[in-house]
Structure 1
Amino acid sequence: MNTTRMPVYFLSHGGGPWPYIEQMRSAYARTAQEFAALPGRLPAKPKAILVISGHWEAAGFTVSTAARPPMEYDYHGFPEHTYHLSYPAPGAPALAQQVRGLLEGAGLATATDAERGYDHGVFVPIGLMYPDADIPIVMLSMRADYDPAAHLRAGAALAPLRDEGVLIIGSGLTYHNMRGFGRDESTAVASSFESYLHTAISAENGATRQRMLLDWEQAPGARLAHPREDHLVPLMVVAGAAGDDPGRALFVDHVMKVPMASYEFGPAAGGQAA
């Protein structure tokens, strides 16, 4: 086993710029604590982070190439100060080209975007993990057709980066129905769907896991949990990069009457998640 291989993560990033709003941060106290502790689970500090956010999709897989990515305030109705936040982590143009090469080597067409900035699916979890903004970040878009097989293939193509000190993160939510948040009837829906995901993540081999993720629409409450699967698709990329590595729940927070789970695949220097 390569003991320096990075684990991979799917992180439920929560709603909007919540760490910067006192009332919301209180609601997400468990998530804030777990994200801050996550670097301690890694075998080493990452050389770079590759993140697939549920807030960026394009016609084809698209890679951010900016050396100094700007911010993307892709939310509405929040306090004015949240539209002036800054997370000045550098980009990594050389890694971006490597990502393109791996994807195209797997037969997946790619494009680049030199202007894409950090949306809250990026700067919220990574900002809590690394508040000094000292680790380079490359963003990879989802493909707008949401094809789970293509996203699993993309993850598998990117897996070699794990042996080069690159931390791969899928940032989304295990439940993302904007009309359902805060409603009593959503608790059972979200819990049933997360139970299906947990069974898939915990499967003994990657083939079983991937088969269950390919069939995610057959899960209980699937389309009630995800009317559009933009916040689920990052999990497909992460599962592809995980291969046959064991998966587990990192933690499950409960916010707005629904469970929001985050998952870990592979070795973790800090021990097993509770």
Structure 2
Amino acid sequence: MGLPPVHFFSHGSPMMLCETTESSAYWRRCGDEALAHNVKGIVIMSAHWAALGDRIEVATNPAPRIRPVGFVPSHDYKHYPLTPDLSTAHRCLDLLSAEGFNVSANPHYNWIVDVYIIITRMFPDGNAPPTTVISMNARYDPHYHLKVGSTLRQLRQENYLLIGTGGAVHNLYRNRWKPMIKYLDSLAMETPPEEWALEFRQSLEDVMTKTSGPQLRRAVTRLMKHPQFRDAHATDDHFMAAVFVAGVVGDVDDEGCQGVMGAETWELTNMANSQFTFGEWPKLPVAGYPG
């Protein structure tokens, strides 16, 4: 039957909730494909949610709300129906606990912008599959997050869609905010992206599209020693989503499964919202022809 793809999505600024871009079109396409293949559910790691100490948490709020954000009118997202997946959340708790993680349920978690940008743009008709949200760990150890991905990778064999939501180049301190603050336009580009942003973005693309299996895991973690890493990521949180994805698709069995960059959107001059996918859905049979 084949396996569902795995996505590393750069969610971008809150304006990506309402802007029409190549990234939003790609997210919609990925969502349509997931629905067409009757995906069982979504497991998504959130860059904006990190547990302290050595812990990791899994959302178990049966009626989560959407945390509001600035710049974007609430009617663009406020009434979107959320579909938490409590049974899969407890499954993730069991899998992570069995691997020695200090993991606990969080019955109070409300969805944050990095999650609902992706879900609402993938499934704009309000028909998102049941979704489980997993936190990061605030120590941002790449090997820790690799192991989280490798622990949950078996869910892919059960027709779950695994997603890491973060950013390819995401340094809020080095963005050009004036067009967004003054005109609510995050896509304005008065100048090209700076060299450090272009350099790291290219290095990430090379790793994601030219390595696979255990080599992918080594290469992604090694990017944290890249000369422009700290310029591209003032904090480590948005890069951990890429590490999580490398854990999911970086096993020996995944050798030869290289990523593709399905779309890219630059915001705020220096924010690269690159969208990467590993693997693809099996082709659906055409009526009247064998599958």
TM-score, structure 2 normalization: 0.82
**CA 1:102–1:120 in structure 2 vs 1: closer, same or farther (change >3 Å)?**
same
Residues 180 and 95 (structure 1), Cα distance of their counterparts in 2 relative to 1, 3 Å cut: same
Counterparts of 2:141 and 2:198, CA distance in 1: 24
> Partners in 1 of 2:72 and 2:265 — Cα distance?
24
Pairwise CA distance, 1:256? 2.4
1:72-221 to structure 2, matched below 5 A, reads: 72-73=67-68, 75-76=69-70, 78-79=71-72, 81=74, 85-131=78-124, 132-182=126-176, 184=191, 186-221=193-228
1:146-199 Cα shifts (integer Å, max 9, x gaps): 000010011000001111121111111111111222384743222211111112
Q: Any conservation in 1 of the 2:17–2:76 contact (CA below 8 Å)?
A: no
- More displaced stretch, 63-72 vs 137-146: 63-72
CA offset digits 1:1-38 (Å, max 9, x no partner)? x41x2111010111015324xxxx15xx2122111111
Name which of 70, 75, 79 aligns with 2:65.
70
Q: Distance in 1 between matches of 2:109 and 2:76?
A: 16
Amino acid at match of 2:51: A
Contact 2:173 2:234 in 1 (8 A): no
Distance in 2 separating the partners of 1:34 and 1:203: 21
String of CA shifts for 1:81-114, please: whole Å, max 9, x gaps: 3697132222111101110111122222201111
Q: Secondary structure at the match of 2:173?
A: coil
Structure 1 unaligned spans of 5+ = none
1:210-254 per-residue CA deviation (whole Å, 9 max, x = no partner) reads 112222222241100101011111111111111223222122222
For the residue of structure 2 that corresponds to 1:94, the secondary structure is: helix
Which deviates more from structure 2 when the two are superposed, residues 6-15 or residues 45-54?
A: 45-54
Q: Which residue of 1 aligns with 2:25?
A: 33
* TM superposition shift of 1:204: 3.8
Contact 1:151–1:237 (Cα < 8 Å) also in 2:
yes
Answer whether contact 2:15 2:72 (CA < 8 A) is retained: no
Deviation of residue 205 (structure 1)? 2.9
Matched, 1:232 2:239: yes
Residues 64 and 180 of structure 1, relative CA distance in 2, 3 Å threshold: same
Q: In 2, distance between residues paired with 1:270 and 1:68?
A: 35
Residues 202 and 134 of structure 1, relative CA distance in 2, 3 Å threshold: closer
Q: Runs in 1 of length 4+ with deviation above 6 angstroms?
A: none
- For residue 52 of structure 1, report the CA deviation from its aligned partner: 0.8
Partner secondary structure for residue 141 of structure 1 = strand
* Structure 1 equivalent of residue 37 of structure 2: 44
Greater gyration radius: 2
Residues 16 and 24, structure 2, Cα contact 8 Å, conserved in 1 = no
Shift of 1:80: 5.1
Contact 1:177 1:225 in 2 (8 A): yes
* Counterparts of 2:91 and 2:207, CA distance in 1: 30
**Whole-angstrom CA distance in 2 between matches of 1:205 and 1:124:** 28
Structure 1 contact 202–209 (Cα < 8 Å) conserved: no
Contact 2:59 2:106 in 1 (8 A): yes
SS in 1 for 2:74: helix
What is the CA–CA distance in structure 2 between the aligned matches of 1:228 and 1:270, rounded to whole Å?
Answer: 39
SS at match of 2:48: coil
Structure 1 CA distance for aligned equivalents of residues 77 and 213 of structure 2: 42
Q: Distance in 2 between matches of 1:8 and 1:80?
A: 31
CA RMSD of aligned residues (A): 2.2
Contact 2:207 2:216 in 1 (8 A): yes
Contact residue 57 and residue 141 of structure 1 kept, 8 A: yes
